Structure 1
Amino acid sequence: MRTLRRRELLLAGAGFAVAALFGRTARAADASGPLTLYNGQHPETTNAIVEAFSRETGIEVAIRRGSSAQLANQMVEEGAASPADVFYSEESAPLATLAKRGLLTAASAETLKQIPANYAAGDGAWIGVSARCRVVAYNQDMIQVSALPTTVTDFAKPEWSGRVGFVPTSGEFQAQTLAIVKLKGREAALDWLKGLRDNGRVYNGNVAAVQGVQRGEIATALVNNYYWFRVAEELGEERMRCQLHYMGHKDAGALLTLSGAAAMRSSKRPEAAQKFLAFLVSEKGQQALVEAVAEYPVRPGVQSPYALKPIDELDPPDVTPEDIADADLARDLRREAGLA
């Protein structure tokens, strides 16, 4: 397990990306000016990739930051006048929204060949860059793994009152809700949300939820796998009372989701935008990514330095990115359940 010092070095690398907004890289800058990246992904992940891309190509990258949903809404409003060349999203749903609006340009055939077909939109409008899975974080001093439910929907039952944390505003929680819709129907998903409202504890972020489990203020929490590694990197893995349980069995609790990227139809630098997409799924791009975050690479053959459960052992549900792309339905269900 790497130390906090490594994360500090990665964050220090943010200066490279920020400097690209105002000046030159060490190599000759592209004469057409910087590539504009709308970034909804975690800063340390994007900074590592952008630094590697600019070092490899000499192309500067100007980063505009925000949540993935906020940036997608902004690009819808901007339309053809958007200055964005590429959108890098933490979740796939905002990418699907832009695709439906006809605002994306398909990735090149050569880029799409670099990753499995199920890690990209069916029409190639966007590509997956990394994968992550939903897990149950649990405090091993408070509960035995054998006592955990076999399906995520059971966490909404009264017997879990005061024992489960969740983050209703998380994009991946919303994707999990839509997975339940796909697998069990709308009413089952609504009942789940209402049960969590009545029996669960709301956290304002996944890191906070993992920290809550670690401190013993809650027995379990529904989160993404990589947040555990962020907390463990700061505290030291040997101090972690919080552990991860992978539900498997094709349950919605084992949902596998994608972070992804797309070239914008509005791009004034379409060739550079396609180069960036190609780099994201190249061996060098994927290696830069897995060094920065405990997510799964989408390119075969790239190994993460983190101790991730092998992706072929996760046994996620048979849910496609399109099945969990309806952000409006997820928001409607959350509001109807009183979790807005």
Structure 2
Amino acid sequence: MLESHDRRTILAVAGALAVGPIAGCLGDDEGSDVLGDPEYVEGRPDPGGTSMDDLPDLEGELTIYSGRSQTRVGELLEYIEDRYDDLALEVRYDDTADLVSTIEAEAETPADVFYGSESQSMTHLEEEGYLATLPEEVLESVSEDSRDPDGHWVGFTRRFRAIGYDSERFDAEELPDSIDDYATDDRFHGDVMWAPDQGSFQAFVSVFRELGGEGATREWLRTMVDEQNVQTSPGGDSAMAQAVADGEVGIALTNHYVLRDHPDSTLDLAFTSDDAGAMFNVTGGAVLADSDRGEAAANFVAHLTAAEAQEYFATTTWEYPTVDGVDPLEQLPSTDEFEPPSFDLAGLVDLEPTLDLLREEGIL
């Protein structure tokens, strides 16, 4: 980014709420739709960070490969496109892993920006030489623990592993603060659910291996299966959350954002401390090395770290912003309450030993 332009004025948390499923705060002075879920934006402080007003204008055509669904981020990308008369976005939505495979299969990818649903996809593309280095000002717009130490990608949101539990059956104070105890506590026999085919669970097991070693991880997995009779989710994190909300199981090993779809149910969240059960991962973006619009692509990535985008993420995806000065929802625990372990976020790229372990134990 070389210069700053004042094209339009974004009003922070102002104006009447627009009609629509995801409309709320941060609208512009020309009356376009505003960003954020109206049910949750009212009364929030003005977001910190850099406004889109202070970024260079976007223009031309950009192709985005998005591993985040249109339901989750489509309105934000449309909002950015609508801000600039000379911008046209071509967005391909697909599973993150499938998009990685597509890039690897293409002789020269048409993608300018890769939007990944977790860090390991971006690190994999980096290691294979597909990513360009981002400008320093883009990297420094997010917290240090949410960006690639080698400068090839930045995180847009953080998601924490969590213990989803039935608040009618358990009190948070009575739940273990160690992930190990969920394999040994008799209270949870037959009452825990996990989703081993999900990337977030596999990343959790990878961190378990990094922190505790292969032997301890294998023993934990085996105990969960053989002694705790752990249940397998029929449909990922969403199905696990629903199973807890419906009283089918008392505990789900999941991600914190599942609370988004069950804010008024008996589903609540607890957290372990300083172990793999308390790890976090990031969604994020990178610029493809083959792009002939690298500067514009990096500017687009910067727009997703801007205050308006971070406020959108906070109030619609219920994930944690990566930019200082943008608060998570008050319905979520403060990050001050978390004690995540120290681990190499970029190290999550090597999933094969984890997948081998899960297959050997008959979990996958």
Q: Give the TM-score taking structure 1 as reference length.
A: 0.85
> Whose radius of gyration is greater, 1 or 2?
2
Q: 1:45 aligns with which of 54, 60, 72?
A: 72
1:293 and 2:317 matched: yes
- Counterparts of residues 258-273 of structure 1 (less than 5 Å): 258-273=282-297
| Residue type of the alignment partner of 2:242 | Q
Corresponding residue number in structure 2 for 1:24: none
In the TM superposition, residue 149 of structure 1 has moved relative to its aligned partner by 2.5
Corresponding residue number in structure 2 for 1:326: 350
Aligned residues of 1:53 and 1:285 also touching (Cα < 8 A): no
Corresponding residue number in structure 2 for 1:119: 146
Q: Which runs of 5+ in 2 are unaligned?
A: 1-17, 24-32, 34-56
Q: Among the aligned pairs, what percent are the same residue?
A: 29
Corresponding residue number in structure 2 for 1:96: 123
In the TM superposition, residue 141 of structure 1 has moved relative to its aligned partner by 2.1
Corresponding residue number in structure 2 for 1:181: 209
Alpha-carbon distance in 2 for matches of 1:304, 1:229 = 12
In the TM superposition, residue 223 of structure 1 has moved relative to its aligned partner by 0.7
User: Do the aligned partners of residues 194 and 66 (structure 1) sit closer, same or farther apart at CA in structure 2, a change above 3 Å counting?
Assistant: farther
Alpha-carbon distance in 2 for matches of 1:57, 1:117 = 30
Corresponding residue number in structure 2 for 1:10: 22
1:247 and 2:272 matched: yes
Aligned residues of 2:328 and 2:334 also touching (Cα < 8 A): no
Q: 1:151 aligns with which of 178, 183, 190?
A: 178
Q: Secondary structure at the residue paired with 2:355?
A: helix
Corresponding residue number in structure 1 for 2:47: none
In the TM superposition, residue 227 of structure 1 has moved relative to its aligned partner by 1.0
Alpha-carbon distance in 2 for matches of 1:229, 1:32 = 35
Cα RMSD for the two superposed structures = 2.4
Alpha-carbon distance in 2 for matches of 1:243, 1:313 = 15
Q: 1:134 aligns with which of 142, 161, 172?
A: 161
Aligned residues of 1:130 and 1:298 also touching (Cα < 8 A): yes
Q: Secondary structure at the residue paired with 1:133?
A: strand
Q: Which runs of 5+ in 1 are unaligned?
A: 1-5, 17-28
Q: Could you list the structure 1 runs, at least 4 aligned residues long, displaced by more than 4 angstroms after superposition.
A: 29-32
| Residue type of the alignment partner of 2:120 | A
Per-residue Cα deviation, 1:68-118 (whole angstroms, up to 9, x for no partner):
11211221222x511111111111111111011010011111111211222
Aligned residues of 1:42 and 1:90 also touching (Cα < 8 A): no
User: Do the aligned partners of residues 145 and 306 (structure 1) sit closer, same or farther apart at CA in structure 2, a change above 3 Å counting?
Assistant: closer
User: Do the aligned partners of residues 191 and 7 (structure 1) sit closer, same or farther apart at CA in structure 2, a change above 3 Å counting?
Assistant: farther
Aligned residues of 1:151 and 1:252 also touching (Cα < 8 A): no
1:87 and 2:114 matched: yes
Q: Secondary structure at the residue paired with 2:262?
A: helix
Aligned residues of 2:162 and 2:255 also touching (Cα < 8 A): yes
Which protein is richer in helix relative to its size?
1
1:105 and 2:106 matched: no
